[in-house]
Amino acid sequence: MKAFSPVISAARSARHATAQSVSVFLRDVGHGLLEVSHNTLALIGLILAAVVLFVAGQADLRHEAETQILGWLQARHEARAEPADALAAELSEPDAIARATASDPKDLSRQQAAVAQWLSRRYRVAPEPISRLVQEAWRVGEKASLDPTLILAIMAIESSFNPFAQSAVGAQGLMQVMTKVHNDKYEAFGGNHAAFDPVTNLRVGVQVLKECIARAGGLEAGLRYYVGAGNQSDDGGYAGKVLSEQQSLRQVASGKAVPPHAALISVAAPAVDPAPANKPEVIAPAKAEEAHKPEQLALLR
């Protein structure tokens, strides 16, 4: 065993010497690469500085460089904005304004503007569409020999100015016209779907109202026919509510101050339950209708 000791020691010494040599070599290579990198970066920096100084001294070159940089930035901006612009272009419809039922309140007369502002606040709807309906009520009312405030009062009580309202028995739109019963009246407007066009519904509703008043021989009785209670002793207070709303609108149109949230007070014979002082009582669409049979409505409305 002692005979092998010198050999083992020699092997260990050789291995140790080899490891030290490799370590020194790697350390030297690392330092060399670091020095080369530093020198290379310094050289690149000097070159860039020289180029910048040279370009800065040449107006033509500087202008061309600025132009290219701005062009690159603009191209990047357009590339980012292109998807949004493409979607906007695909969805755009410049003629959509023609479908909007709206008017500038400034285009109304003082009387109409007062009514439109009051209705807008009372029913929490935008003044522009209300202004359009007020204008139409005045225009159609004159042609039909009906007070425009009556037309607006019916829309208020029937639908609270919701053009998409529909009752349980099928009355639709602002004036809750029975579309299936009066589909012949919608033919002049392109079909039954026009019931949801506010202006069309107003015009058809006025025609129906005129027929009801003529058949009944008077306004209050005509309102009973309009709501489908022509043969009933009680219309659920409908006529009284319409006439009360009309009275408020007349006062507003005459320049009197009427609180927009005043409760409805019946001005017709049947007594109506009082509404809370801070909220107008607005009959829900077809509230009175639902007490009557659809067959009766088909005949009367």
> Please, what are the domains in the chain?
2-91 (no CATH), 105-300 (1.10.530.10)
Give the residue among 260, 285, 240 at the shortest CA–CA distance from 118: 260
Per-residue pLDDT tens listing for the chain (301 residues): 555 566 677 777 777 777 777 777 777 777 777 777 777 777 787 777 766 666 566 677 677 777 888 888 887 776 776 677 788 888 898 888 888 999 999 999 999 999 999 999 999 999 999 999 999 999 999 999 999 999 999 999 999 999 999 999 999 999 999 999 999 999 999 999 999 999 999 999 999 999 999 999 999 999 999 999 888 878 899 999 999 999 999 999 999 999 998 887 655 433 333 333 333 443 344 444 444 434 335 444 4
Give the residue among 55, 51, 54 at the shortest CA–CA distance from 66: 55
Give the pLDDT confidence score for residue 298 in this predicted structure.
42
With tokens 């209705």, the residue in question is 119
Record the tokens describing residue 53, joined without a space.
Answer: 């100084």
Tell the burial category of 102 from Cβ atoms under 10 Å away from its Cβ (0-12, 13-18, 19+).
middle
Q: State how beta strands 171-172 and 177-178 pair.
A: antiparallel
**Residue 171, C-beta contacts closer than 8 angstroms, at least 6 positions apart:** 158, 177, 178, 179, 285, 286, 289, 297, 301
**Residue 281, C-beta contacts closer than 8 angstroms, at least 6 positions apart:** 241, 263, 264, 272, 275
Record the tokens describing residue 147, joined without a space.
Answer: 């007070």
- Rounded Cα distance, 301 and 296, in Å: 8
- Rounded Cα distance, 239 and 245, in Å: 10
- Rounded Cα distance, 119 and 262, in Å: 12
Record the tokens describing residue 127, joined without a space.
Answer: 């003044």
CA-atom Rg of the chain in angstroms: 42
- Rounded Cα distance, 239 and 269, in Å: 9
Give the pLDDT confidence score for residue 244 in this predicted structure.
96
